[in-house]
């Protein structure tokens, strides 16, 4: 296995984890605004849903970052990303062109992230992961 084949999964995992963990930090710091946006989308119990979203983002992000139950963390974040994309970035319902463009860009970015999460689910964490500390490293690859 080449150096790039060993390092690339780690760097990819860290990039995906950084995205979710930094977004969680941003949502925590803009709690009221985020709850208001969720209420504007007619989501019930917005504060509770935000707590659940933050929990998923943090647990999934840490799981992927350290490579511990990576496939489960990726599955959790994949489902979360799909749900959030469809409920919060429903650009097809917007009439104003600039708002539709902004939301469609976020939606398609999320689709790309979901694709990366599917790769993690299918391929595993790679060689530098807690998942691979026992059993010869075959579980998480």
User: Tens digit of pLDDT for each residue in 76-127?
Assistant: 999 999 999 999 999 999 999 999 999 999 999 999 999 999 999 999 999 9
Look at residue 113 and tell me if it is in a domain. yes
Look at residue 10 and tell me if it is in a domain. yes
Domain limits at 27?
3-126
pLDDT above 80 (res 137):
no
Closest CA to 52 of 17, 16, 24, 72: 24
Look at residue 132 and tell me if it is in a domain. no
pLDDT at position 69: 96
CA dist 48 to 31, 53, 97, 107, Å? 12, 9, 32, 23
Mean pLDDT of the chain: 93
Look at residue 54 and tell me if it is in a domain. yes
Look at residue 140 and tell me if it is in a domain. no
Look at residue 105 and tell me if it is in a domain. yes
* Helix segments in the chain, DSSP class H: 3-29, 31-40, 46-66, 70-88, 97-123
Number of Cβ within a 10 Å radius of residue 55: 13
pLDDT above 70 (res 134):
no
Look at residue 41 and tell me if it is in a domain. yes
Domain count, the chain: 1
Q: What's the pTM?
A: 0.89
- Band (pLDDT 50/70/90 cuts) for residue 136 is very low
Token reading at 43: 């989501």
């Amino acid at each position: 296995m080449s150096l790039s084949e060993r390092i690339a999964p780690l760097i990819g995992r860290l990039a995906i984890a950084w995205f979710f963990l930094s977004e969680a930090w941003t949502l925590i710091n803009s709690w009221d605004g985020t709850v208001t946006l969720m209420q504007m989308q007619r989501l019930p119990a917005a504060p509770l849903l935000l707590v659940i979203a933050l929990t998923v983002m943090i647990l999934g992000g840490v799981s992927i970052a350290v490579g511990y139950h990576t496939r489960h963390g990726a599955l959790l974040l994949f489902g979360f990303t799909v749900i959030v994309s469809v409920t919060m970035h429903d650009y097809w319902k917007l009439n104003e062109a600039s708002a539709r463009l902004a939301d469609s860009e976020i939606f398609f970015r999320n689709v790309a992230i979901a694709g990366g999460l599917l790769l993690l689910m299918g391929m595993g964490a790679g060689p530098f992961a807690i998942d691979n500390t026992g059993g010869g490293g075959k579980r998480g690859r």
